[in-house]
Amino acid sequence: MDEFASIRHWTADRQGENWQQRRGVVRGIGDDTAVVDAALAEDGVASPKRLLLAVDTMVETVHFKQSTMRDEDVGYKALAANISDIAAMGGMPLHALVSVSVPPAYTPERMRRLYDGLYECAERYGVAIVGGDTTSSPGQLVVAVTVTGTVEAGRELLRSGAKPGDAVFVTGAVGKSAAGLHALLAQEREQRAGERLSPAEFSGTGEELLVLAHQRPNPSVRAGRLLQECGSCRSLNDVSDGLASEAWEIAEASKLRLVLNEALLPRSGSLAAYAAKVGIDPLEWMLYGGEDYVLLGTMDSQDADGMRAVFHEEGLPFFIIGETEEGEPGVVLASGSQSQGDKRGPSTHSCRRIELKKRGYNHF
């Protein structure tokens, strides 16, 4: 198949013309560039919005292997990772362009499955696929996805807005994706190399949720919008590279320290059970496991309870996990006993404070 025939095979009849028009698409796949309405109106009314632009790349053997991700998972996750970047700005994702460098091993049918996953994610998050580029690759599959999104002008949630005394929050459990990857790699070692695994094969073991978290992550678009609308969120990041690493990015951009309270970190039941089963400290995955795509941020501590209520009303998790303080940029994990103050006197702290390293996430 030539390039155009391939692209048609992957993309035709996926997103209707009307569906794309509602997203401002004037001309999608098939010309030199896509054409989208710069006014980016909603309901036909121009609004003072800004454009968000991001690109994220997945490389075979670096970010995934055939034994950890099916082709459709690769497509789904490549787009999901990008949508998560838009969510981390408090924005709404709109358009995507897909660049694939395809090695010979990827047959048209495999690529079709990859696009199945990509369009599944696009439909779920209302993203219009408007273009791309296809090249051959002598080595690994490389998928680079670019996304656009919009955000109300001046209301984008940057990493640099945190202030001392802010509450630090996270919008979901962390470490599940890394634990899921561990389960997939463990199963690979027990089986023939190269055999594909799916969450279904973990069904009933309690590990399917971890595998699903790794293969089909859910970017936190709604959570990002709630945080953007509330007006008291001061900094925001998505947890793509591990909680410690993302906290470091906020600390450095905002020039302060984040103190995370170990006891407040949300623990997933399936994560705890799997960690106990394989004899690994779940904290390692929670701090240094990437690709959970929940949001980590800071906000005015006075509004934290109200924010939790808003999230609760929407059925979304929200956890206060620490606070910010002045000082050299860094991230601290506080643990150990901490008695709340009562009538007899002030609170006493006998915390251990460990400086967390900046280290990011390595897949393999």
Question: What residue ranges bind its own copies (CB under 8 A)?
Answer: 2-3, 26-27, 30-40, 48-59, 61-63, 85-86, 88-89, 91, 95, 97-99, 101, 130-133, 135-140, 142, 144, 146-151, 153, 156, 158-160, 237-238, 253, 358, 360
Give the span between the Cα atoms of 43 and 126, in whole angstroms.
15
Nearer to its own copies, 66 or 146 (CB): 146
- One-letter identity of residue 147: V
Instruction: Answer yes or no: are the C-beta atoms of 288 and 155 closer than 8 Å.
Output: no
284 labeled part of a ligand binding site? no
CB of 315 to its own copies, least distance (A): 25
Residue 234's DSSP bridge partners are none
Q: Establish whether 303 is an annotated binding residue.
A: no
Comparing CB distances to its own copies, the nearer of 294 and 334 is: 294
Minimum CB distance to its own copies smaller for 110 or for 155: 155
DSSP state of 299: E
| Region label for 165, one of left (φ > 0), alpha (ψ between -120 and 50) or beta (otherwise) | left
Please give the Cα distance from 44 to 42 (Å, whole number): 5
Residue 293 marked as a ligand binder: no
Q: 31 among the known binding-site residues?
A: no
The CB-of-205 to its own copies minimum distance in angstroms stands at: 32
**Shortest distance (Å) from residue 313 CB to its own copies:** 26
Give SS3 for 176.
Answer: helix
CA distance 27 to 37: 10
240 or 268: CB nearest its own copies? 240
- State in angstroms the smallest separation of the CB of 160 from its own copies: 8
Which residues on adjacent β-strands are paired with residue 57? 144
What is the enclosing helix (H) or strand (E) of 81?
A: helix 71-87
CB atoms within 10 A of CB 61: 12
119 labelled as ligand-binding?
no
115 annotated ligand binder: yes
CB of 164 to its own copies, least distance (A): 21
Given the complex with its own copies, which of 160 and 339 has the nearer CB atom? 160
- Residue 30 or 327 having the CB closest to its own copies: 30
Q: Is 349 annotated as a binding residue?
A: no
Element housing 72 (H / E):
helix 71-87
Residue 291 annotated as part of some ligand binding site: yes
Residue 32 to residue 123: CA distance in whole angstroms: 24
Helix (H, G, I), strand (E, B) or coil at 138: coil
What's the length of the chain? 364
Q: Which two tokens stand for residue 180?
A: 């899921």
Minimal distance, residue 310 CB to its own copies, in Å: 22
* Residue 85 counted as an annotated binding residue: yes
Asked if 168 and 42 count as a contact pair (C-beta separation under 8 A), the reply is: no
Q: Which is nearer to its own copies, 52 or 260 (CB)?
A: 52
Under 8 Å between Cβ of 316 and 328: no
CB of 15 to its own copies, least distance (A): 15
Q: Which residues are annotated as a binding site for Mg(2+)?
A: 32, 56, 85, 133, 238, 241
Q: Which residues are annotated as a binding site for ATP?
A: 115, 132-133, 159, 240
Q: Which residues are annotated as a binding site?
A: 32, 56, 63, 85, 115, 132-133, 159, 238, 240-241, 291, 361
Q: Which residues are annotated as a binding site for substrate?
A: 63, 291, 361
